[in-house]
């Protein structure tokens, strides 16, 4: 029985990890074919067996293996904001960005629009994308989301739940990089905020506000969170999710209303056909410091926009009370963002992974076979050239070398033969120059070393001859060449 291929998947956080859900729902036929493991970025840093896998699946560009392995990227959301080459403040070079994305064997996608937007940022080839939908979005349809949310917040019982999920503007990872101009003296970024009015609004509408900051931002605003809790807000953190071994998307399906600014989470939430409220309090500054991939924002953000506390409270109440409010706008964007609107994305992704593995390994086997055939043919041609030289047919040998280099280029064996040909043609200096240059290019090739030794011995430079014969002896893996080099070293000693 053949050994199972190994798959390593990376998980960055508990806030919408596609690999987490991919690992949760592995089809039986996939389990029988592969050994699969999910590890955190921290685990990867101290894992001595990290390089032993055959397939690597990322969500944040965490790891790129060698060309012999298979690399797959799921990413972590539908792009609204500029990223990589399209991020105004990006510091990584275009070459570095392209190096990662161009080597991926497969990039899972939401839709044709996703392919276009992602490619504007990273410059991959369209053939690298497969439209499958994203595994994390399957969880939005789970029937037990409400029960799981109540384990975190029992006070939610008999209340509606509004999730406030703003995009991150600053993190402990890049504290000097500030995006937008949001004023954080209150969490919503409003110029003024009355907590008594807010609490009254919550009571009147039988509503609870659950705040989930971006994982990058949670640590940065740790002290502020305690103050913001006094407004009547409930905070859900990545650490809380980790303790319960759950992911945010297992709870998000319980939200009756989503409130955000520029976080791409709303693209996923569109699948539920529930209301979304936007708070673009620093829209102009955000456009200037980060930028958007798609414009105008007012069209692509399918919900009312609130810039003050009163507007937020009024619009939230209207969205919860009127099902048709912005319903058509949400449907329009959903059709462009999602090619699939069901809960079968995980199944499609696993099928695409399995298909990719089969296709890539088949292609590589074919390439290896072609390479082996070519090497065999090249070997026969080189053998024929050597026979021409032995027979004294130097002109024929020279012509065949030219034809060889035109079709196959210059390699170490042909360079070694060419050096001897030059020597036999009386072009000793050219032969030494050629073989010396070859030695720099192919510093482990014992044939080049031996031939240099031979030519130096022929012209009476015995020190150089002994040096190159010794090198040939140390580097040769061929018994016959090794013995010839050893004899020459002994003769010159």
pLDDT value at residue 174: 53
pLDDT value at residue 104: 93
pLDDT value at residue 230: 81
Residues 461-481: what's their mean pLDDT?
93
pLDDT value at residue 78: 95
Domain membership of residue 464 (yes or no) is: yes
156 and 174 both lie in a single domain? yes
Q: Is the pLDDT of residue 201 over 60?
A: yes
pLDDT value at residue 214: 80
pLDDT value at residue 272: 98
Residues 220-224: what's their mean pLDDT?
75
Q: Is the pLDDT of residue 172 over 70?
A: no
88 and 215 both lie in a single domain? no
Give the CATH number for residue 264: 3.40.50.12580
152 and 275 both lie in a single domain? yes
Look at residues 337, 362, 396 and tell me which one is the last residue of a structural domain.
Answer: 337
191 and 326 both lie in a single domain? yes
132 and 71 both lie in a single domain? yes
Domain membership of residue 361 (yes or no) is: no
**Of 234-248, 370-384, 400-414, 471-485, minimum mean pLDDT range:** 370-384
Domain membership of residue 380 (yes or no) is: no
Domain membership of residue 363 (yes or no) is: no
319 and 425 both lie in a single domain? no
Q: How far apart are CA 298 and CA 262, in angstroms?
A: 11
Domain membership of residue 360 (yes or no) is: no
Domain membership of residue 156 (yes or no) is: yes
Domain membership of residue 69 (yes or no) is: yes
pLDDT value at residue 2: 61
Q: How confident is residue 20, by pLDDT bands cut at 50, 70 and 90?
A: very high
Residues 229-240: what's their mean pLDDT?
89
Q: When comparing pLDDT for 63 and 322, which is higher? A: 322
63 and 169 both lie in a single domain? no
Look at residues 279, 302, 337 and tell me which one is the last residue of a structural domain.
Answer: 337
pLDDT value at residue 183: 67
130 and 148 both lie in a single domain? no
Residues 27-43: what's their mean pLDDT?
94
198 and 80 both lie in a single domain? no
Q: When comparing pLDDT for 65 and 5, which is higher? A: 5
Give the CATH number for residue 131: 3.40.50.11820
173 and 292 both lie in a single domain? yes
258 and 305 both lie in a single domain? yes
Residues 193-221: what's their mean pLDDT?
89
Residues 192-199: what's their mean pLDDT?
93
pLDDT value at residue 42: 87
Q: Is the pLDDT of residue 12 over 60?
A: yes
Q: Is the pLDDT of residue 434 over 60?
A: yes
Q: Is the pLDDT of residue 461 over 80?
A: yes
Q: Which domain holds residue 418?
A: 410-493
Above pLDDT 90, what percent of the chain? Answer: 71
**Of 131-135, 303-307, 349-353, 366-370, minimum mean pLDDT range:** 366-370
Give the CATH number for residue 485: 1.25.40.10
Mean of all residue pLDDT scores within the chain: 91
Q: When comparing pLDDT for 291 and 28, which is higher? A: 28
- SS3 per residue for the chain: CCCCEEEEEEECCCCCCHHHHHHHCCCHHHHHHEEEEEEEHHHHHCCCCHHHCCEEEECCCCCCCCCCCEEEECCCCCCCECCHHHCCCCCCCHHHHHHHHHCCCEEEECCHHHHHHHHHHHCCCHHHEEECCCHHHHHHHCCCHHHHHHHHCHHHCCCEEEEECCCCCCCCCCCCCCCCCCCCCCCCCCCCCCHHHHHHHHHHCCEEEEECCCHHHHCCCHHHHHHHHHHCEEECCHHHHHHCCCCCHHHHCCCCEEEECCCCHHHHHHHHCCCEEECCCCHHHHHHHCCECCCCHHHHCCCCECCCHHHHHHHHHHHHHCCCCCHHHHHHHHHHHCCCCCCCHHHHHHHHHHHHHHHHHHHHHHHHHHHHHHHHHHHHHHHHHHHHHHCCCHHHHHHHHHHHHHHHCCCHHHHHHHHHHHHHCCCHHHHHHHHHHHHHHCCCCHHHHHHHHHHHHHCCCHHHHHHHHHHHHHHCCCHHHHHHHHHHHHHHC
**Of 247-251, 407-411, 442-446, minimum mean pLDDT range:** 407-411
Q: What is the pTM of this model?
A: 0.78
pLDDT value at residue 393: 93
pLDDT value at residue 170: 60
Residue of 46, 43, 55, 53 whose CA lies nearest to 12:
43
Residues 407-429: what's their mean pLDDT?
92
Q: 68-126 pLDDT, tens per residue?
A: 899 999 999 999 988 888 888 788 888 888 888 999 999 999 999 999 999 999 989 99
Q: How confident is residue 180, by pLDDT bands cut at 50, 70 and 90?
A: low
Q: How confident is residue 140, by pLDDT bands cut at 50, 70 and 90?
A: very high
318 and 440 both lie in a single domain? no
pLDDT value at residue 94: 87
Domain membership of residue 35 (yes or no) is: yes
pLDDT value at residue 126: 93
Q: Domain total for the chain?
A: 3
């Amino acid at each position: 029985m053949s050994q199972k291929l190994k798959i390593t998947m990376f998980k960055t956080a508990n806030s919408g990890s596609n690999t987490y859900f991919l690992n949760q729902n592995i089809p039986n036929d996939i389990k029988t074919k592969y050994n699969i493991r999910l590890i955190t970025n921290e685990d990867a840093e101290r894992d001595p067996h990290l390089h032993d896998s055959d397939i690597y699946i990322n969500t944040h560009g965490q790891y790129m293996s060698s060309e012999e392995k298979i690399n797959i990227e799921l990413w972590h959301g539908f792009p609204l904001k500029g990223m990589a080459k399209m991020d105004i403040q990006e510091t990584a070079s275009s070459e570095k960005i392209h190096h990662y994305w161009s080597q991926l064997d497969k990039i899972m996608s939401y839709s044709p629009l996703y392919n276009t937007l992602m490619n504007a940022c990273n410059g991959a080839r369209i053939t690298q994308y497969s439209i499958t939908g994203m595994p994390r979005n399957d969880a939005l349809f789970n029937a037990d989301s409400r029960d799981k949310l109540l384990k975190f917040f029992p006070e939610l019982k008999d209340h509606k739940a509004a999730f406030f999920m703003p995009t991150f503007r600053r993190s402990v990872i890049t504290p000097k990089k500030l995006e937008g101009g949001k004023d954080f003296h209150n969490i919503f970024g409003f110029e003024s905020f009355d907590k008594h009015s807010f609490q009254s609004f919550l009571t009147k509408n039988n509503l609870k506000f659950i705040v989930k900051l971006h994982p990058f931002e949670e640590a940065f605003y740790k002290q502020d969170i305690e103050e913001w809790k006094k407004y009547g807000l409930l905070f859900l953190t990545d650490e809380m999710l980790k303790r319960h071994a759950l992911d945010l998307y297992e709870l998000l399906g319980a939200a009756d209303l989503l409130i955000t600014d520029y976080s791409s989470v709303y693209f996923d939430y569109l699948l539920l056909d529930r209301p979304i409220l936007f708070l673009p309090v620093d829209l102009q500054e955000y456009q200037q410091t980060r930028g958007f991939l798609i414009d105008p924002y007012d069209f692509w953000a399918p919900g009312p926009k609130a810039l003050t506390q009163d507007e937020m409270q009024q619009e939230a109440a209207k969205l919860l009370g009127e099902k048709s409010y912005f319903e058509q706008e949400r449907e329009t964007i959903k059709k462009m963002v999602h090619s699939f609107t069901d809960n079968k994305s995980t199944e499609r992704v696993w099928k695409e992974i399995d298909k990719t593995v089969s296709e890539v390994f088949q292609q590589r086997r074919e390439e290896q076979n072609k390479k082996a055939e070519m090497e065999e043919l090249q070997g026969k041609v080189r053998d024929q050239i050597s026979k021409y030289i032995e027979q004294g047919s130097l002109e024929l040998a020279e012509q065949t070398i030219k034809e060889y280099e035109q079709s196959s280029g210059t390699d170490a064996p042909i360079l070694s033969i060419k050096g001897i040909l030059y020597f036999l043609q009386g072009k000793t200096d050219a032969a030494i120059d050629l073989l010396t240059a070859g030695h720099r290019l192919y510093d482990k090739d014992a044939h080049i070393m031996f031939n240099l030794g031979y030519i130096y011995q022929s012209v009476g430079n015995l020190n150089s001859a002994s040096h190159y014969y010794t090198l040939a002896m140390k580097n040769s893996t061929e018994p016959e060449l090794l013995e010839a080099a050893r004899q020459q070293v002994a003769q010159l000693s």
